[in-house]
Structure 1
Amino acid sequence: MNTITLEETSRWYGNVVAVNGISMTIGPGITGLLGPNGAGKTTLIALMSGFLSPSAGRVTLDGQPIWRNTEAYRTIGLVPEREVSFGYLTGRQFVLANAELQGVPDPGAAGERALEIVDLVEPAQRRIATYSKGMRQRVKLASALVHDPAVLLLDEPFNGVDPRQRLHLMNLLRRMGAEGRTVLFSSHILEEVEQVARQIEVVVSGRHAASGDFGQIRRLMTDRPVQYVVVGDGAAQDRALASALIAETSVVAVSLRPQGGVDVSVSEFGDFAQRLPVVARDHGVRVLELTPTDESLESVFSYLVGG
């Protein structure tokens, strides 16, 4: 199953609470872990990977505690945010050392396979100290893949990666998710999360703020007006539609868009969906387009963090 479960999990350092009563389930596929700096993302990944014990609650892999469970460690691959400190080693030596630590049957072959997966075979003979930020990210990923883990946890993997390497990494994560692995990565780069993972877990100030598909999360925010663009057949029809819609009880605000169309804030989508065709027909307006404008990950994240 390869499912990580957190049950009312907390972690504190003295009087500082980093994670507070979080419950979530991370299963096969790709999950994006989102939150502003200091939200607790790195602490959560450390708890899931067995590098930290929970101060309260439970963190399990398929029902078994992860902390001090060597069998769980064999299933998990971790790509930490912190820099590799072994700059005096070549990339190949670093990956080989991790393969040997994992006790894989053929460390050399496992290391070469991992280097090939991350497209780092040629630079592997160079010392890590000479690597770019993106190359250091890739050598960390290779070291996490040497034992072919079913669960892969990555902390800010896109940091410092150039566009070509970023595309390669995104494709790699998609492939691993499609293979049935459990892949979780934290990020603050919303565009990339939106392209790779539909499932998201959002943490704000150490608490679990939301879980699920970001479109579904947006639709659950019933206290927030939903934003739409309605486009009529020409500027005159846009104006007629705007003046008619502002009288509807489900419409909170209306404004004309300079490039054409009408921005509409809606408090009750069900009523609005029923009334829009009626209003358009009664006023002789031909509606060409109706598009939600705030179901993107960026808008959902802004709502959750700022709400």
Structure 2
Amino acid sequence: MTDLTLTGVSRWYGNVVAVNDVTMSIRPGVTGLLGPNGAGKSTLIAMMAGFLAPSAGDIRLGEAPVWRNVGAYRDLGLVPEREVSFSYLTGRAFVQATAELHRLADPRAATARALAEVDLVDAADRPISTFSKGMRQRAKLASALVHEPTVLLLDEPFNGVDPRQRMHLMELLTRMGEQGRTVLFSSHILEEVEQIARQIEVVVSGRHAASGDFGAIRRLMTDRPSHYVVRSSDDRGLASMLMGLGGVRSVALGRVGTGEAITVEVTDMGEFTLALPRLARSAGITVRELAPSDESLESVFTYLVQS
């Protein structure tokens, strides 16, 4: 198992600061890297992969520096956002070239394994120039996996991939995380991140905005009201009681999802969660469901970007 650690990392281009004093540690499992366009995600990934030098700070793979350390590439795999440059090669030749660069004992066998992992065997002997966008993405992924790296960095890996292929790649990344590999991927589609990564790193305007489980991050945002969905044996009666409760900003009764429910906006989560069962019990009302409605990754990301 290998950690990828960034300490005080910055990158600037003249007077333009792309990444500003970022400190984070990417550990085994699957981590999502989030941020608006231009936040510095691609710059961070390029520095983590050793293809771009930090202007300040340090990046280490385990105990070893990444920059100017050729040995780090034995453990690193990179799927860049940019297109494959060698489009005249077949998919198989492209992946095998990477295997040979890594001086693997059996490049052909490693290539066959990597192509099978990304479900690209049937098209492997066609020129990459004939591939769809999604197939080119899978060719890049196969090239990154051919030497079985312990750390995999992916910049927008699902771009142009059709739904069936996306599901396959999500399952593959999930499996790699479960095997103890360190997987970091960026995506602008929050639903993709939420499906396979509870752990997130968020960058906004080049700065590190948040790190950790996105549900835990939301619960630490005590300056923002919390939103809950409540279902009970008497929604109307319970809603009227909640309206008089301190720490409750608003109460609405209406359809939520597949049925009727109460939506509650709360400024004091502690008071609300203690008072709700007491009120329901006093009125003989059964609370059937109490669920936060703004602990989704989309909610957390929106709060972070707007703060």
Which bin holds the TM-score, normalised by the shorter protein?
A: over 0.9
Deviates more, 1:36-45 or 1:249-258: 249-258
Partner residue of 2:269? 269
Partner of 2:260, secondary structure, is coil
Are residue 245 (structure 1) and residue 252 (structure 2) matched? no
Partner residue of 1:43? 43
Code of the residue aligned with 1:69 in structure 2: it is N
| Aligned equivalents of 2:251, 2:216: Cα separation in 1 | 24
| Aligned equivalents of 1:231, 1:121: Cα separation in 2 | 50
Are residue 4 (structure 1) and residue 4 (structure 2) matched? yes
User: Can you list the C-alpha shifts for 1:94-141, whole angstroms capped at 9, x where unaligned?
Assistant: 111111112212222211111111111121110001001110000000
Partner of 2:78, secondary structure, is strand
Deviates more, 1:283-292 or 1:17-26: 283-292
Partner of 1:285, secondary structure, is coil
Partner residue of 2:175? 175
Q: What TM-score, normalized to structure 2? A: 0.96
Deviation at 1:239, TM superposition (A): 2.3
Q: What TM-score, normalized to structure 1? A: 0.96
Are residue 255 (structure 1) and residue 255 (structure 2) matched? no
> Any unmatched runs of 5+ in structure 1?
none
User: Can you list the C-alpha shifts for 1:127-170, whole angstroms capped at 9, x where unaligned?
Assistant: 00100111000000011111111110000001110000001000
| Aligned equivalents of 2:284, 2:13: Cα separation in 1 | 65
Code of the residue aligned with 1:195 in structure 2: it is Q
| Aligned equivalents of 2:27, 2:229: Cα separation in 1 | 36
Partner residue of 1:199? 199
Partner residue of 1:55? 55
| Aligned equivalents of 1:174, 1:231: Cα separation in 2 | 33
Partner of 1:166, secondary structure, is helix
Are residue 127 (structure 1) and residue 127 (structure 2) matched? yes
> Any unmatched runs of 5+ in structure 2?
none
Deviation at 1:74, TM superposition (A): 1.4
User: Can you list the C-alpha shifts for 1:255-287, whole angstroms capped at 9, x where unaligned?
Assistant: 112352211111122211111112123334332
| Aligned equivalents of 1:106, 1:256: Cα separation in 2 | 65
Deviation at 1:240, TM superposition (A): 2.1
Kindly report which structure 2 residues correspond to 1:106-145, keeping only aligned pairs within 5 A, or say none.
106-145=106-145
| Aligned equivalents of 1:11, 1:137: Cα separation in 2 | 27
Code of the residue aligned with 1:199 in structure 2: it is Q
| Aligned equivalents of 1:98, 1:286: Cα separation in 2 | 62
| Aligned equivalents of 2:199, 2:294: Cα separation in 1 | 17
| Aligned equivalents of 2:276, 2:260: Cα separation in 1 | 18
Deviation at 1:64, TM superposition (A): 1.4
| Aligned equivalents of 1:204, 1:271: Cα separation in 2 | 32
Cα RMSD over matched residues? 1.1
Aligned residue-pair number: 304
| Aligned equivalents of 2:250, 2:207: Cα separation in 1 | 33
| Aligned equivalents of 2:131, 2:43: Cα separation in 1 | 27
| Aligned equivalents of 2:254, 2:303: Cα separation in 1 | 23
Code of the residue aligned with 1:72 in structure 2: it is A
| Aligned equivalents of 2:93, 2:280: Cα separation in 1 | 68
Partner of 2:123, secondary structure, is helix
Code of the residue aligned with 1:153 in structure 2: it is L
| Aligned equivalents of 1:238, 1:119: Cα separation in 2 | 50
| Aligned equivalents of 2:254, 2:223: Cα separation in 1 | 25
Partner of 1:261, secondary structure, is strand
Kindly report which structure 2 residues correspond to 1:138-157, keeping only aligned pairs within 5 A, or say none.
138-157=138-157
Are residue 306 (structure 1) and residue 306 (structure 2) matched? yes
Are residue 225 (structure 1) and residue 225 (structure 2) matched? yes
Are residue 297 (structure 1) and residue 294 (structure 2) matched? no
Partner residue of 1:185? 185
| Aligned equivalents of 1:67, 1:219: Cα separation in 2 | 37
